[in-house]
Amino acid sequence: MEDVRVALLGCGTVGTQVARLLDEQAADLTARAGAWLHLVGIAVRDAEAPRDPVIVRTLLTTDASGLIASADIVIELIGGIEPARTYILEAFEHGASVVTGNKALLAAHGPELYEAAARADVDLYYEAAVAGAVPVVYGLRESLAGDRITAVLGIVNGTTNYILDEMTTKGLEFDDVLAEAQRLGYAEADPTADVDGFDAAAKCAILASLAFHSRVAMDEVHVEGIRSITASDIAAAARAGYVIKLIASAKRRENGIEATVAPTLIPHSHPLAGVHGPFNAVVIEAEAADRLMFYGRGAGGAPTASAVLSDVVAAASHIVEGGHAPRELIYADLPVLPLEECTARYQVEVAVDDTVGVLTEVSGIFAHHGVSISAVAQDHEKIIQGEKDHPGRAVCHLTVTTHAAMHADLLATITQLEDSQYVAGIKRVIRVEEA
């Protein structure tokens, strides 16, 4: 049986699990790939650092370039941009296929890597780059290749989903849950990439590119994180029949692609509403297949290693039997729309004077800017005498839910509301997803 040489770059949590599974499941993986997957080395920065006992220390090397030159398949699990980008390009130059879970690199340099792989006539696989063990990349690249995708919506960051879920179920504030998430290892010491939406944005760019056969860069995704979400926001959403989730959304419009990451009101009837804790889920809407949902563990050593090894088996099979992974298809070349041209439903909570004529004033402002109102609710329990910022003023809260509106029109509406003599302040503006 043919021997396929595998080089592993990186020996962190995921890399350790990949090495373990390559050893423990060797017989099964060999049968599926049609070749013995021979781990020839593991490139690390410090070969003397403590390691999990499953790691065979004689495989460790600090010479990544030398290891790459000896491999048929290179697994890149270093993360970041450099030296990961350089190593992947070196692998292609040596005729090796690459399996990576590096979402940041693909979002920033995907086109360069896809083109380099095509020139070298080798494969580039990246199932692990989005949602861990959840096979959504395969679904978009292969299973749905015969359909026209209209939308991809996903909870693709387990840290933020855990935080929002804890806030929802326990009534806690953001800072308290974040601290607990850090203690449990769900959040990094510096949680910026997660809670500010950048991790989800990188994944959104990859999903949008796959779904719509167009190049979408991470910096074209409009991003809003969850730091501003409060326990009162969560409670208000629950009263209205929603949960708040950080949603990566990519939608095909007539004039281009909308790509956003933002806290979003999800109705309880929507499949994403029931995704709890650190789990990930992606809903795909297609013209023929209708709605599909992919759900599972989006992070962690073993789940991510599962996705990596599925790609390794596919790449090895192509080496033995011939064939290639699906190539990047960008024939559609759709533009990514600026935020101002994106459309969505919104919920706007406005503090207004508790007096006659206010509703007419507020609804008139929405109408003036072409923003159609779906529903208006008044929270009678919030009627107070003299809000902190407006002493001596009787104030109540109106919650206005809109039909789909262009973001530029919504911004104009909010600006005029803030200037109205009847408005004490805009308390909350949040996207609303359809059921």
Number of Cβ within a 10 Å radius of residue 71: 24
Dihedrals phi, psi of 287, to nearest 5 degrees: -65, -40
Q: Does a cis peptide bond (omega within 30 degrees of 0) precede residue 326?
A: no
Among residues 398, 341, 339, the alpha carbon closest in space to that of 221 is found at 339
Q: 429 with 348: CB under 8 angstroms?
A: yes
Residue with tokens 């949590």: 13
Burial bucket for residue 202 (CB in 10 Å: 0-12, 13-18, 19+)? buried
**Burial group, residue 398, by CB count within 10 angstroms (0-12, 13-18, 19+):** buried
Quickly list DSSP for 45-109. S-TTS---TTS-GGGEES-HHHHHHT-SEEEE---SSTTHHHHHHHHHHTT-EEEE--HHHHHHH
Residue 160's nearest CA partner among 310, 33, 263 is: 263
Place of tokens 């990949």: 18
For residue 418, what are its two tokens? 């803030």
Burial (CB count within 10 angstroms: exposed 0-12, middle 13-18, buried 19+), residue 121: exposed
Please confirm, yes or no, whether 427 is among the known catalytic residues: no
Q: How far apart, in whole angstroms, are the C-alpha atoms of residue 330 and residue 210?
A: 9
End-to-end CA distance of the chain: 52
Catalytic residue (choose from 103, 170, 203, 382): 203
401 C-beta neighbours (distance < 10 Å), count: 16
- State the catalytic residues: 203
